[in-house]
Amino acid sequence: MLKVVWLGGAQMSAWGCLLYSFPMLAEALLAEYGWSRFDVYAAGSVAMAVAAVSAYPVGRWIDLGYGRAVMCLGGLLGACVLGGLSFVDAVWQLYALYMLMGVALAASLYEPLFACVTYCFGVEQARYMIPRLTLWAGFASLVFMPYTQLLIDTFGWRLAMPAMGLTYLLIAPGIYFWLLRQPDTQLPVRKEASRQPDGVLRLPVFWFLVVAFVGYGLIQAGLNFHLFAILLEKQLDTSTAIWLVAMLGPVQVTGRLWLMWLLRSHAATSAAVMLTLFQPLVLLAMYLSSAVVPLWVIIIVFYGVLGGSLIIVKGIVIIDYFPDQPYGRVNALLTAPYNLAQAVAPLVGAALWLVGRSYDSYLWLLLGVSVLIPLSFYLARRRFERDHLKSEQAA
């Protein structure tokens, strides 16, 4: 249990410092330099695109036993990038730093940690630890978004970003170095590490999951980067918008607890179908709502419960559906298109805002994407059951 607490705390700092600081930084840059919203938010897309490209080598190194080095170096790089942001005075410098941030994200967030946990502690421990790790990290927005804004308001963004980097440096790398040690004995999950994971690319189940998680990535990244601006567009004041976004963490924890309960009696994809059926309604409510704070509290609660749960599904479904494949590399193959979707989402949101000077068309686009997610999870589950039955009959 203590491992979960410490690793969860490290993840909380990773999400809070490396990712959730970006919307506040973006608004500060827009206010100071007058750059276009598209140009600034493109930096987030650059980071996610680089993270997608970096996912496979990171997964491979973890499968080969270098997980601790990967995550420690990712932490050091992320802290350095945050420090370097204080010197930005041109868009190209922002892009260059966020290219490096993409490498740090690929080596710091849930995906590499899930692979490290599976490698270091084995499949059964991973199945127990993965949902619980996301509970602790779910408080990242509640803790770090107000913290980031407080630093910016007090010291200005040029000093706030190095302070965020120092915060992250003092928390995460040491925890990873301490806990992510080589296992004392040869664990079952490592016996397959020499297998090539390319076989999953020929499985329809894999591609149904890709569609589902690409849709999830589009919605999550789109709203992670733009929800703060959407709330301001709906005429909510800045402090209210910050706390509404910060609510997402605790609400996501509630959703993850609910999913853990569902997983006791349902497969991961079946539970995902039940949850994501409600996502189109949440996005429709976002589109229709105005500056009514109680209504937005309800919307944020439902959005957080739904969105926060699927990251657990993503971690567990690889264990359930591809047990004979190296976790790190299969996870990377699934993560790469997910990260590319996350790279595209902020750009699409910014581009549609520039066209209409409103987020309305973007919310309609995300609503359409949300319809595909439960359908894809359902088809993945049905195809897996069919293929599993055929293999049993053949045996």
Do residues 77 and 103 touch, judged by C-beta distance below 8 A? yes
pLDDT at 191: 44
Please report, for residues 107, 212, 329, the alpha-carbon distance to residue 115 in angstroms, rounded to integers and kept in the order given. 11, 20, 9
Mean pLDDT computed over 204-218: 91
Residue 141 pLDDT > 60 = yes
Q: Is the pLDDT of residue 192 over 50?
A: no
Compare 310 and 174 and report the one with higher pLDDT: 174
pLDDT of residue 37: 81
Least confident span in 214-218, 332-336, 369-373: 332-336
pLDDT at 350 over 90: no
Q: Cα torsion at 196, 198, 199, 200 (round to 10°)?
A: 120
The predicted-structure confidence for 101-110, as pLDDT tens digits, reads as follows 999 999 999 8
Q: Kindly indicate the confidence band of residue 95, based on its pLDDT and cuts at 50, 70 and 90.
A: very high
Sign of CA dihedral 269, 274, 277, 281: negative
How far, in Å, are 10, 66, 114 from residue 177 at the CA level? 11, 11, 15
**Confidence bin at 193 (pLDDT 50/70/90):** very low
Q: Which of 10-24, 110-124, 312-326 has the lowest mean pLDDT?
A: 312-326
Asked if residues 136 and 5 have their Cβ atoms less than 8 Å apart, the reply is: yes
Is the predicted pLDDT of residue 41 greater than 80, yes or no?
yes
Stretch 292-318: mean pLDDT? 83
Confidence of residue 366 (pLDDT cuts 50, 70, 90): very high
Would the pLDDT of 83 be above 90?
yes
Assess whether pLDDT exceeds 50 at residue 253: yes
pLDDT averaged over the chain?
A: 85
Out of 3.30.420.40, 3.30.9.10, 3.40.640.10, 1.20.1250.20, the CATH code matching 2-180+199-394 is: 1.20.1250.20
Side-chain-side CA neighbours of 79 within 13 Å: the count stands at 18
Quick one: pLDDT band at residue 198, thresholds 50, 70, 90?
Answer: low
Higher local confidence (pLDDT), 378 or 73: 73
Residue 290's pLDDT is what? Answer: 82
Higher pLDDT, 291 or 375: 375
Report the distance separating Cα 222 and Cα 357, nearest Å.
Answer: 16
Q: What pLDDT is recorded for position 184?
A: 64
In DSSP notation, 342-363 reads: HHHHHHHHHHHHHHHSSSHHHH
Longest CA span, the chain: 68
pLDDT of residue 265: 61
pLDDT at 185: 60
In the chain, domain spans: 2-180+199-394
